[in-house]
Amino acid sequence: MTNRILLTGGTGFFGRALLRHFLASGMAADTTVCVLSRVPQRFQAAHPELFACDRISFIRADIENRQSLPWDQEFTHVLHAATDSTVGPRLTPLKRFNQIVVGTTNLLDLAVATGAERFLLTSSGGIYGSQPPDLAAISEDWLGSPPIHDSSTSYSQAKRAAEHLCALYRETHGLQTVIARCFAFVGEDLPLDAHFAIGNFIRDALLAESITVAGDGTPLRTYLDQRDLAHWLWTLLLQGQDGEAYNVGSDRVISIAELAHLVRDLIAPRKAVHILHKADSGSIRSRYIPSIEKIQDFGLHVQISLEQAIVSVADASR
């Protein structure tokens, strides 16, 4: 059977990695990918190699505009990865919430109408809310959540709503749904001038006199290379268990201060690292660490080390 996969977010950080993996991995010759994009011509100018493949096609559409979607076509799978984590923080909380919830509703309706059997939603580790200090890693069955009355949690609340929509469409329409709860990532497509600490450190290492840590450096994070991310997402789309959620991220824990020094050591050994704020011994240390035991049942493991990922980003940015 021929697989025809609809991909949203195909021109973003997740999507570009997914398309490169599709081309490089030799996925089944009878599999094609149709990418939704608001401005495919602009993407073509930047990435002509993706338009040269006859198994990748592009449709001009906006997931928030139902009329623009390809209702007259047929798909076997939908991989919904369209939330823009770069532009999103610049939206109002209400607009950000609506972008995610309306877009997901439209894509679920499209999946049902076009005959798709499986739907993969890229959700977020943010749906768990703040990680308690005594919880080493968050597993998929942990029942934490962000505070419902805090507007700053609109992104996480919207992702929770999107996951619930998947459960409702699974029950109502028999659509197989799988959830990828994504944590923190690094890769050649990561913007170095946005709100991502690792990107800012790499930018400073390449261009600034020193590397600046805006906070106290104590938060604990993990970073998965976007090439591993793409491999894991394709695996979940095709093999993930219907109705299940899986954490997607690295299990290597590093503090923000340690990360800044690691970036310095790898890219600009002679530069200083400046941490702007002194750590408060009485404060709760921020943690954002996934358990990835569940996804390892598919034989998935971190293949690209953090060091390799950092050097790759620096090389791509020079």
Sign of the torsion formed by the C-alpha atoms of 131, 137, 143 and 145: positive
pTM: 0.96
**Ramachandran sector of residue 60 (left: φ over 0; alpha: ψ -120 to 50; beta: rest):** beta
Q: Which domains are delineated in the chain? A: 3-186+224-249+289-302 (3.40.50.720)
pLDDT value at position 318?
86
- Spell out the residues 6+ positions from residue 48 whose beta carbon is closer than 8 angstroms to its own: none
Q: Is the pLDDT of residue 148 over 70?
A: yes
Neighbours of 10 (CB within 10 A): 26
**Residue at 204: amino acid letter:** D
> Would you say 256 and 197 are in contact if contact means Cβ atoms under 8 Å apart?
yes
pLDDT value at position 171?
98
- Spell out the residues 6+ positions from residue 167 whose beta carbon is closer than 8 angstroms to its own: 177, 243
Backbone angles phi, psi at 39, to 5 degrees: -135, 75
Nearest-CA neighbor of 55 among 34, 76, 79? 34
∠ CA 82-244-149, rounded to 5°:
65
d(CA 170, CA 204) in angstroms, rounded, equals 46
Query: SS in 3 state form for 145-178?
Result: CCCCCCHHHHHHHHHHHHHHHHHHHHHHHCCEEE
Question: Worst-scoring range by mean pLDDT, 8-17, 80-89, 247-256, 273-282?
Answer: 80-89
d(CA 107, CA 99) in angstroms, rounded, equals 12
As a residue count, the chain comes to 318
**Both ends of the chain: CA-CA distance in Å?**
44
∠ CA 36-42-45, rounded to 5°:
115
pLDDT 10s digits, 6-28: 999 999 999 999 999 999 987 77
Neighbours of 125 (CB within 10 A): 21
* DSSP state, residue 297: G
Question: Worst-scoring range by mean pLDDT, 51-65, 96-110, 195-209?
Answer: 51-65
**Residue at 288: amino acid letter:** Y
In the chain, the percentage of residues whose pLDDT exceeds 70 is 97
Q: Is the pLDDT of residue 166 over 80?
A: yes
**DSSP of 62-101, one letter per residue?**
-TT-GGGS-TTS--SEEEE----TTTGGGS-HHHHHHHHH
Nearest-CA neighbor of 13 among 224, 264, 240? 224
pLDDT value at position 22?
94
pLDDT 10s digits, 60-104: 999 999 999 999 999 999 999 986 665 656 789 999 999 999 999
**Residue at 85: amino acid letter:** S
- Across residues 256-280, what is the average pLDDT? 95
pLDDT value at position 25?
85
H-only helix segments in the chain: 13-24, 40-46, 48-51, 93-113, 154-173, 197-207, 226-239, 256-267, 306-317
CA distances from 251 to 145, 201, 260 (A): 21, 21, 18
For 119, the token pair is: 């739907």
Under the banding of pLDDT at 50, 70 and 90, the label for residue 285 is confident
- Across residues 172-187, what is the average pLDDT? 98
